[in-house]
Amino acid sequence: MMNYLRFWRERGWTPISAGDYAETWSRFGGSVATHPEVVARLADLAGIPVRYLGWLVDGQLQAAIPTWGRYLALSKDVLKQQGKRGLFDLGNAEVILPLAAGACVPLRHRVRYLSELCAVRVSGAHEQAEGLALAREPEQYSKKFRYNQRREQRLLEEAGGEIRPMLELSPQDQARIYADLFLRRWGFEATGKAHLAEVFSLLREFMSGSLIYLNGEPVAIQVLYRVEAPQWISLEYINGGVDPQQRDFSPGSVLSYVNTQNEWARARALGKPLRYSFGRADREYKDRWCHRVPVYQV
């Protein structure tokens, strides 16, 4: 029965190597959640083998997917089934599959947060009830909003605030500061706390953004992962932490402003659009920074 179900799911797809998948991603692009190294490293951490499948037309790969059974690889559902819930945190990451421009493929593996970029080329996808929050371009914020953000940044810096790059810190220090500030902000432990340093080490080359110190103490941090595809930049804002005792200086808001401004400048210097995802469009503060876009599931 299981073999029959796999045959049905994979009908038209061909098993391919990890190298073939990586080459297809490098040609057609994808997102943080489908990047070959992100998939391979986190799957290895979980101890769950990845089965890579390709869609061939005239002997040429036109699409590829990494899978865990009937799910796309890195699925939270599979981690939960395997007793590894919360091993790592990718939030509700936008899923962009490596697909050729003219490709149209059937997808029978379960996936949520499938990007609008590939949904039209995937049969079986339908729109989810909740959308995705993508950061607006800098010019799309009102003049008043930008003025207020710059003012908050200036006041913070005048009070002894410093903005420093995340990659200044070791993965161990990143994990310690993030776990501490997350707990202070939310009142519960960060997802995958026990493995944070290991995950931050595995994904270090994809980590981006800054953190904020006030009088030498960290007060705001955000975990950002960034990958560069041929035609766009995919960036995931996974989660963050902030010291609520410093809310007078709005360090969380200042950090969102600094990180979004810097990432837009960086993407524009490369001449590529930026897909800066805040994950599910489920909180009011995200509406300040983002516009909602449709997202799909299979």
What are the residue ranges spanned by the domains of the chain? 2-128, 133-297
Task: With a cut of 70, say whether residue 97 has pLDDT above it.
Answer: yes
Digit-coded pLDDT (tens) for 215-248: 999 999 999 999 999 999 999 999 999 999 887 7
How far apart CA 154 and CA 30 sit, in angstroms, is 37
In the chain, the percentage of residues whose pLDDT exceeds 90 is 88
Q: Which amino acid is at 5?
A: L
Average pLDDT over residues 85-104: 94
Average pLDDT over residues 103-112: 93
Pairing of strands 217-228, 210-214: antiparallel
Digit-coded pLDDT (tens) for 49-75: 999 999 999 999 999 999 999 999 999
Where are the alpha helices (H) located in 85-166, listed in sequence order?
A: 116-119, 143-158
Residue 258 confidence (pLDDT): 97
Distances (CA, A) of 252 to 165, 218, 219, 234, 239: 15, 11, 8, 22, 11
Which one is the CATH code of 133-297: 3.40.50.1100, 2.40.37.10, 1.10.760.10, 3.40.630.30? 3.40.630.30
Digit-coded pLDDT (tens) for 146-166: 999 999 999 999 999 999 999
Task: With a cut of 70, say whether residue 1 has pLDDT above it.
Answer: no
